[in-house]
Amino acid sequence: MSLLIKNGQIVTASERYVADIFCEDETITRIDQNLSAPRGTEVIDATGKLIFPGFIDPHVHIYLPFMGTFAKDTHETASKAALVGGTTTFIEMICPAKTDDPMAAFELWLGKAQGQSACDFTFHMGVTRFDSAAEHQFTEIVKRGVSSFKVFLAYKGAFSVSDEELYQTLRLAKKLGVITTAHCENADLVLELQKKLLGEKKTGPEWHHQSRPPRVEAEGVHHLLTFAEMLEAHVYIVHLSCHEALREAAVGKYRGVNVWVETLIQYLLLNKAHAELPNFEGAKFVMSPPLRDQRNQTVLWNGLREGLISTLATDHAPFDFGTQKIMGKDDFTKIPNGIPSLEDRVNLFYTYGVKRGRVDLHRFVDAASTQAARLFGLFPRKGAIQLGSDADLVVYDPVYRGIISVKTQMINVDYNPFEGMTIEGRPHVVTVRGQVAVREGKFVGQPGRGRFLQREPGHF
């Protein structure tokens, strides 16, 4: 099977030029001017379009047992939504309960995705307990192709690890040559602040921020980087939300800690005022770390532009407002944490980043695709348009205009946090390993065709 994409403007993290791209089976095999199509080739006219490498979301939750409920999407709904939005690969967090067997959790998450996901996928392995039995299983899981760990410094009594466990996780990660991703908030501080606020009858979603202020996140970053420094481990801070935390990461970077930073589209475009909306509407915007004061957005955009922040992810975590967020009606600490955004990340980043002059096209591709591929051992198979790369391509229409709405979304949740926002561009065609999966905003691919991407450790 072959595919020829003609006359598009190819844009990667470092290059921009007009050429044709020829794909055979699953791979890009020629990039040149005036390529002709052998008989039977599907030809796509990309005149006036931009062609990006398939976008990678390095932080999503699909199967997620959390806070007494489960995130709403299935791998089928989430992957279709991802593809319509231009994301051709995602990295899902495996989040076992502390009492779960890590290997059983890996098999469970893999089983949920395999044969269901329409786009390619891989995992970060959550370390929620560290003992010698678990250590052995983590080593086996890395051999099975999962070359990154995830630790939570937050969520006391659920996912959070002790300092001893953090130390042992980073020691093992260093030994195996894998990177550790980390949710950085001080779990004890959060718990004490929650107790104090509830004791003062401050129970609404508007108090969520006060229970996890910027210093609590900055302390988490500082804490992680102290441990990473001692062990010379490689760490990646997920969903960094504010100036204070970014300053801690920058200080760590300058003293030589191997640290990379991710932020989210939510933090760039939504703010604390959303979580303060009346009539419990604010619950739709409760996530951790919380949405911050608007002043932080300039810092995050600048951090992205300058590369101090490497990646832009979603932390997609969809919970229905009507039946799930409502669980915290009388107690904000019971509102399932998370804001969905898998479908809209790329179009919003393009519109409010590139079109508004906050980041250039190359940094856009880099932050939403190439950096994740490099950091997590997928490059140049993913995140690149070059000979031999997987033919994951986004033929992007920069002239399209649309409005985000729950009424038209593909994700399986009863609201959209970006409701009513304009987008100025969207994927015209999306391919996954040489097959067209999306045309004009419609999924036309093969459900369940997505492949588990095994990643080698030790590429640092």
Q: In sequence order, what DSSP letters do the residues of 137-188 get, joined into one string? A: HHHHHHHTT--EEEEES-STTTTB--HHHHHHHHHHHHHHT-EEEEE---HH
CB of 72 to ligand URP, least distance (A): 13
β-pair type (442-443, 435-439):
antiparallel
Judge residue 306's burial from the number of C-beta atoms within 10 Å of its C-beta, 0-12 exposed, 13-18 middle, 19 or more buried.
exposed
Q: Three-class SS of residue 258?
A: strand
**8 Å CB contact between 115 and 448:** yes
CB of 338 to ligand URP, least distance (A): 4
Residue 100, CB-side half-sphere exposure with 13 Å CA sphere? 20
Site string for ligand URP, 325-344 (x = CB under 6 A): ------------xx------
CA distance 58 to 313: 6
Q: Closer to ligand URP by CB, 244 or 315: give it.
A: 315
Q: Closer to Zn ion by CB, 80 or 183: give it.
A: 183
- Tokens 């300092």, residue located: 163
Candidate residues 317, 354, 391, 438; the one interacting with ligand URP per rule CB under 6 A = 317
Residue 185 binding target from Zn ion, ligand URP, none, CB below 5 to 8 Å by type: none
CB of 75 to ligand URP, least distance (A): 17
- Residue 316 interacting with Zn ion (CB under 5 A): no
Stretch that binds Zn ion, among 15-23, 84-92, 310-318, 322-330 (CB under 5 A): 310-318
- Residue 208 interacting with Zn ion (CB under 5 A): no
CA distance 134 to 98: 11
CA distance 419 to 373: 30
- Residue 313 interacting with ligand URP (CB under 6 A): no
Candidate residues 57, 315, 344, 366; the one interacting with ligand URP per rule CB under 6 A = 315
Q: How far is CA 249 from CA 87, 240, 372, in A?
A: 27, 9, 18
CB of 151 to ligand URP, least distance (A): 11
Q: Closer to ligand URP by CB, 108 or 158: give it.
A: 158
Nearest residue to ligand URP, by Cβ distance, number only: 337
Q: Closer to ligand URP by CB, 59 or 80: give it.
A: 59
Q: Please calculate the CA angle 376-379-381 and round it to the nearest 5 degrees.
A: 125
CB of 239 to ligand URP, least distance (A): 6
Candidate residues 120, 165, 185, 315; the one interacting with Zn ion per rule CB under 5 A = 315
**8 Å CB contact between 256 and 235:** no
CA distance 43 to 223: 53
CB of 213 to ligand URP, least distance (A): 16
Q: Closer to ligand URP by CB, 60 or 375: give it.
A: 60
Q: Closer to ligand URP by CB, 162 or 405: give it.
A: 162
CA distance 330 to 300: 33
CB of 23 to ligand URP, least distance (A): 35
- Tokens 């093969």, residue located: 446
- Residue 189 interacting with ligand URP (CB under 6 A): no
**8 Å CB contact between 141 and 181:** no
- Residue 263 interacting with ligand URP (CB under 6 A): no
Considering only CA atoms, which of 187, 236, 181, 237 is closest in space to residue 212? Answer: 187
- Residue 183 interacting with Zn ion (CB under 5 A): yes
Length of the chain: 460
38 secondary structure, DSSP code:
P
Q: How many residues lie near ligand URP (CB under 6 A)?
A: 9
Residue 254, CB-side half-sphere exposure with 13 Å CA sphere? 6
Judged by CB under 6 A, the chain residues 42 through 81 that form the site for ligand URP are 61
CB of 220 to Zn ion, least distance (A): 10
CB of 445 to ligand URP, least distance (A): 27
Sites of contact with ligand URP (CB under 6 A): 61, 183, 239, 287-288, 315, 317, 337-338
